[in-house]
Chain A
Amino acid sequence: MADDASLLRRDPIKSSVGNVAAQRRRRQAVAVGKERRESLVRAKRFCRIGVSGSANGEGDGEGDGDGDVSPDIDMVVDEEQSVLEAQTSSAVEELKAAIAYQGKGAMQKRVSALRELRRLLSKSEFPPVEAALNAGAIPILVQCLSFGSPDEQLLEAAWCLTNIAAGKPEQTKALLPALPMLIAHIGEKSSLPVAEQCAWALGNVAGEGEELRNILLSQGALLPLARMMLPNKGSTVRTAAWALSNLIKGPDSRGATDLIKIDGVLDAIVRHLKKADEELATEIAWVVVYLSALSNFATNLLVKNDVVQLLVERLATSSSLQLLIPVLRGLGNLVAGDTNTTHTLLLPGSEVTDGVVKVVVKCLKSEHRVLKKEAAWVLSNIAAGSVEHKRLIYSSEALPWLIRLVSSAPFDVRKEVAYVLGNLCVGPTEGDARPYLIQEHLVSLVGGGCLSGFIDLVRSADTEAARVGLQFIELVLRGMPNGEGLKLVEREDGIEAMERFQFHENEDLRNMANGLVDKYFGEDYGDDELAG
């Protein structure tokens, strides 16, 4: 922050203005670039337009473009930024004065001052949060949250806090003193807009990190937030769901296990997955993602209540990437987390299973890299089931896609696809014994041309990928009939690829590669060629 300010301050004394100014602009551009990048990937959200039903008119808090706030979101130039900061400092002072004032029209004064501060904190891509904090905004905002205050006042104060918490880690942490009051105002007695705005602020705080999440959980934020998720519709439900997804994401599992046990939550999740609009369903899906990733107890309950089927239906009918990502991942977590799911629910031949495979394949075919990668992951876990599961995938429409993708997709997708294909070629793991080979599948896959993709993985610098590639090559060398495997591997420059490992620093990979070369391409290999 101090750095930013110094970058932005003009230095009138230095000569050769042109050069210095150009350098400063460059540094500023880099700083802004980095800051923008960081802010873009945060799990926090600025509130620019206000919650629906608020004094500012229509529009749910994000991305709507309606309302009287014009998104002033270009890169802020020197003067604008420092002016903004100065205005913010005065706005805080104004607010302090308004609080102190006891006379006629005190409430109106307070709300006006709050509104001014809120406006300053809601425009531009990088609101003057630091200036507000330095001027002492937090204690004064906490005061504005006191019990009995009028709704308008609560709303504006919570809005300010929301945006203060939406930026850098230190800024979010500054909200600590405000947490108890924010939590208090998401109770049932509060008006909906107030509750929603407070939930938003809490969601930003939860999005910061594990430490703050634990504090919020200890202070009892979970229950009231969960209750906000129960009604059928409204932007409040959506905001609460989003805040909850931030709150339970762990890595500690207690948020997730506590949430699923709250009365009405499971029912609400099922209901929303079934009927809600895509925006709400998206946030609910993220709640499911974290529930299924962190809590076996939750996973069991979700599966028992047909959530798998609901997720499948969403995948089948939606084309919104925002929705598809968490739904697919939730499904993936349910499949990955529990042997029961694959064995009892996803019985091969059942309608549910067919449905699952179908929608996952739909994601595999998508043009979005994340969907392709995570779809392949889900398939790899289904393919890690029984022989019937393997047959199911082998004979599905996934197969030609998989064969194509293992050679042509981006690296992270190729690696996941490799797992699917390999899993199709070996039987289920039984104890310590080496799994048996499913030759029919192996021959068909290799015949389809997937070997070169695996050999490419062997050549990559990624240890896991190289290992996967070598393991598949071993299957080919061992399992192809009539020693065909050897010729095929050679033809695809597989020997070359393996010989690279002689001077590779990873001992396991070296041993694997050398072992294969020694065993299959040893002294006698190629003798018949030379003789002929």
Chain B
Amino acid sequence: MATMEAEGGGGGGGFPYWTSVRRRFDPDSAFFSSGNVERELLAKQVALDITEDERYQLQNLMDEESRGVFCPIVGCGAHLTSLENFEDHYNARHTASCSVCSRVYPTSRLLSIHVSEAHDSFFQAKVARGFAMNECLVESCGSKFKTYKARQRHLIDKHKFPTSFEFYKKALPSRKQRQKNQRKQVTHKKEVAPSAMEVENEAVDELVSAVSKLSTSDSPTSISFGRRHTRGLPFVPRAIQRERT
């Protein structure tokens, strides 16, 4: 297949900077397939009376057959017939956003967990009284924990999350500014209890600094997945197995 850009920028963990290299493709590479299809269609066109319409359809069919994209968002695995559909799918399914702090989550369940943990004073009250309120992020697990830290431990130990994963990532300050300008576009996916709305931004920030462990530094936040073959686990990367680069 094609010789892609060499990994620049040093060893693993460094950013793979753009490198300008020649790319060569084998004759049976997918890169050339639409041209090959075109060749055969044109050769048969007059004899078989292929209409413009049919040619267009055929090209698209060939593309889809070799592409058939799977949604790469964690736990989704939805099959999309074309790349063009992906954006619509993403906007429809993966933009659950918090009406209080405008963070966006890829599933409504995660959004719900976030809202409870970050904006709900009843939730905080129960935590203070010793109830196990922090749910495991993996849907089918069902475990609950008394502290954020304990749940974090569980995610790392049991579900193989990377040690740098932060569910409660500090939002970019600029985001508040940006969202002020876009308030109308924010979708209200979760009904926030009135008392939660009273939780001031300052209180949230205090909560953030108390809870967050890592600063936004070199280690990237990331999610990876423990089990691969079980159904129903939201973080199973089925799409990784099917995805063709």
Contacts and interface: CB of A to CB of B under 8 A. Distances in A.
Contacts of B69: 461-462
A246 to B, nearest CB: 11
A518 interface: yes
B23 A251 contact: no
A369 B245 contact: no
Contact of B28 (A250, A426, A435): A250
B62 interface: yes
Contacts of A419: 23
Interface in B1-46: 4-6, 8-10, 13, 15-28, 31-32, 34-46
A23 interface: no
Contact of B18 (A37, A370, A425): A425
Given A422-B18, A460-B83, A62 B47 contact: yes
Interface in B145-193: 169-170, 172-178
A342 B72 contact: no
B27 A41 contact: no
A474 B26 contact: no
A73 interface: yes
Given A502-B169, A504-B73, A428 B34 contact: no
Contact of B27 (A294, A369, A508): A294
A377 B220 contact: no
Nearest to B89: A461
Contacts of B25: 293, 336
Nearest to A510: B222
Given A37-B61, A503-B223, A329 B22 contact: no
A105 B83 CA distance: 66
B86 interface: yes
A265 interface: no
A377 B24 CA distance: 9
A463 B245 contact: yes
Contact of A525 (B19, B61, B172): B172
Contacts of B8: 429, 432-435
Contacts of A289: 27
A383 B22 CA distance: 9
A384 B3 CA distance: 13
A124 to B, nearest CB: 11
B210 interface: no
Given A518-B218, A525-B172, A41 B58 contact: yes
A475 B16 contact: no
Interface in A48-100: 48, 62-65, 71, 73
B206 interface: no
A506 to B, nearest CB: 6
Nearest to A420: B20
A427 B20 CA distance: 7
A474 B40 contact: no
Contacts of B6: 429
A460 B71 CA distance: 10
A329 B20 contact: no
* Chain A interface size, under 10 / 10 to 19 / 20 to 34 / 35 or more: 35 or more
A249 interface: yes
A461 B80 contact: yes
A63 B46 contact: yes
Nearest to B6: A429
Contact of B41 (A41, A518, A530): A41
Nearest to B35: A370
Contact of A48 (B26, B47, B106): B47
A523 B170 contact: yes
A2 interface: no
B173 A290 contact: no
B5 to A, nearest CB: 8
16 contacts: A41-B41, A64-B46, A293-B25, A322-B43, A329-B32, A434-B9, A434-B17, A435-B8, A502-B169, A505-B225, A505-B237, A506-B72, A510-B220, A511-B220, A512-B15, A512-B16
Interface of B: 4-6, 8-10, 13, 15-28, 31-32, 34-50, 58-59, 61-63, 69-74, 80, 83-84, 86-87, 90, 94, 104-106, 169-170, 172-178, 215-218, 220-225, 237, 239-240, 243, 245
Interface of A: 37, 40-43, 45-46, 48, 62-65, 71, 73, 125, 249-251, 286, 289-290, 293-294, 321-322, 325-326, 329, 333, 335-337, 339, 342, 368-370, 373-374, 377, 380-381, 383-384, 411-412, 419, 422-423, 425-429, 432-435, 459-464, 467, 471-472, 474-475, 490, 495-496, 499-500, 502-508, 510-512, 514-518, 521-523, 525-527, 529-530
Closest 6 CB pairs of A and B: A526-B174, A514-B220, A63-B46, A423-B20, A503-B106, A461-B86
Given A41-B62, A290-B27, A369-B59, 8 more contacts: A251-B26, A335-B22, A411-B83, A433-B8, A502-B169, A502-B223, A503-B105, A529-B174
